[in-house]
A and B are shown apart, each in its own frame.
Chain A
């Protein structure tokens, strides 16, 4: 291992951990985060480095004799644009197109910029997805507008409560609860006949499909910590949705 200066090494560590944190917060797979960090480290001549990534924290050890650094991950969402941007920065760093300082500055910009689509576009997308799933799962064209509206409404409620409270379970519970109430009302007043398909179509934007698949995939890749904690997160989400619906149905 060639010796590199103290400040440069600290910068390198900051850079790797920032990259790992942004990727993990944006919903990248655990093995990809580890792979990216190790590649960047190797490109900076830190060949003996190890990193350990979990959904709630990242540890990075540059070598046996140097201090290990740790970074905590608090909130996770799905923001694929950031994963792609960090990936391209790390590619360019490894290819030598970026210096370490340039890569770090670029990542700071990525960390602070909001790449989200316009809120209205996201709500529209949620409504559209609900409508499409409603038909795909066997709903009738007559009920399509209900699924469309309820899917959008559920998404709005979850996002609004998440903005206010940051408690994911609560937001999902209330979202599913409102969808359940709306669907029951339309069925009991006779506008619609198919309660189950209507509910399943409308809650599709809330269902933790990505988490379930990612959890099993991480488990199979040998990342047991990540797999189990993502599985727990998926279970909690599914529980919140199921409970929200069940509260309505039990009346």
Chain B
């Protein structure tokens, strides 16, 4: 595993997605940093536990955590930073494989790929939500309001 190279590539990839999603110009480098941290955490967990679902959860958690800090710093919506950073983690290749197998009539393999893609996207979303909730608990003053906003508490 070549860490500096992977870091550079994921930085460039996330920055490039920032350009494609038209993120504000002065946030592009931050977008790249978010993507880089997410990918590195993902890879570390993947190599340590060999489970893409756990690794995606950890990566998404890192992305959301860093994106939150940057959103506070720039006073912009968090989505600007998290979107580009989350792209390397979403199971694009799994979804592609599932679709390809369906079109080729390999339904059993398609189901396996599709359910794996579902698990991973669920883990990514869980990672995002967990980090968001923890950050809000950390900033206790706002915690109640945000939880209500996200529909995580009923009242």
A132 pairs with B16, CB closer than 8 A: yes
Instruction: Contacts A80-B22, A87-B77 given; indicate if A213 touches B16 (C-beta within 8 A).
Output: no
Instruction: Contacts A32-B77, A83-B79, A242-B96 given; indicate if A122 touches B125 (C-beta within 8 A).
Output: no
A80 pairs with B129, CB closer than 8 A: no
A241 pairs with B20, CB closer than 8 A: no
> How many chain B residues touch A (Cβ–Cβ < 8 Å)?
51
Q: Would you give the shortest CB distance from A217 to chain B, in whole angstroms?
A: 5
A91 CA to B122 CA, complexed, in Å: 32
B88 pairs with A136, CB closer than 8 A: yes
A241 CA to B6 CA, complexed, in Å: 27
Partner of B77, one of A83, A125, A132, A205: A83
List the B side residues contacting A116 at CB < 8 Å.
22
Q: Would you give the shortest CB distance from B78 to chain A, in whole angstroms?
A: 9
A238 pairs with B17, CB closer than 8 A: no
A79 pairs with B21, CB closer than 8 A: yes
A44 CA to B150 CA, complexed, in Å: 23
Q: Does B103 contact A (CB under 8 A)?
A: yes
Q: Is the interface of A mostly helix, strand, loop or mixed?
A: helix
Q: Does B144 contact A (CB under 8 A)?
A: no
Q: Is the interface of B mostly helix, strand, loop or mixed?
A: helix
Instruction: Contacts A128-B16, A212-B90 given; indicate if A136 touches B9 (C-beta within 8 A).
Output: yes
A80 pairs with B83, CB closer than 8 A: yes
A-contacting residues, B1-56, CB 8 Å: 5-6, 9-10, 12-13, 15-24, 27, 39
List the B side residues contacting A129 at CB < 8 Å.
12-13, 16-17, 20
A8 CA to B4 CA, complexed, in Å: 57
Chain B 114-155, CB-CB to A under 8 Å as 1, else 0, gives 000100011011101100000000000000000001111000
A135 CA to B92 CA, complexed, in Å: 15
A219 CA to B91 CA, complexed, in Å: 18
A-contacting residues, B74-132, CB 8 Å: 75-77, 79-80, 83, 86-88, 90-93, 95-96, 98-100, 102-104, 117, 121-122, 124-126, 128-129
B-contacting residues, A220-249, CB 8 Å: 220-223, 238-239, 241-243, 245-247, 249
B76 pairs with A87, CB closer than 8 A: yes
Instruction: Contacts A213-B125, A216-B121 given; indicate if A122 touches B88 (C-beta within 8 A).
Output: no
B96 pairs with A136, CB closer than 8 A: no
Q: Does A14 contact B (CB under 8 A)?
A: no
A166 CA to B149 CA, complexed, in Å: 34
Q: Does A170 contact B (CB under 8 A)?
A: no
List the A side residues contacting B91 at CB < 8 Å.
212
Q: Does A187 contact B (CB under 8 A)?
A: no
List the B side residues contacting A238 at CB < 8 Å.
95-96, 98-99
A125 pairs with B20, CB closer than 8 A: yes
List the A side residues contacting B102 at CB < 8 Å.
242
B80 pairs with A249, CB closer than 8 A: no
CB-nearest residue of chain A to B77: A87
Please provide the 8 A-B residue pairs with the shortest distance between their CB atoms, ordered closest to farther. A242-B99, A209-B90, A207-B92, A246-B103, A222-B151, A132-B13, A125-B19, A216-B125
Question: Would you give 10 A-B contacts (Cβ < 8 Å), ordered by A?
Answer: A27-B79, A80-B21, A84-B77, A87-B76, A91-B75, A128-B16, A136-B9, A216-B121, A243-B99, A246-B103
Binding site for A on B (CB under 8 A): 5-6, 9-10, 12-13, 15-24, 27, 39, 75-77, 79-80, 83, 86-88, 90-93, 95-96, 98-100, 102-104, 117, 121-122, 124-126, 128-129, 149-152
Supply 10 further A-B pairs (C-beta < 8 A) apart from A84-B80, A128-B12, A210-B83: A81-B24, A84-B24, A132-B9, A132-B12, A133-B88, A155-B20, A213-B125, A216-B121, A216-B122, A243-B103
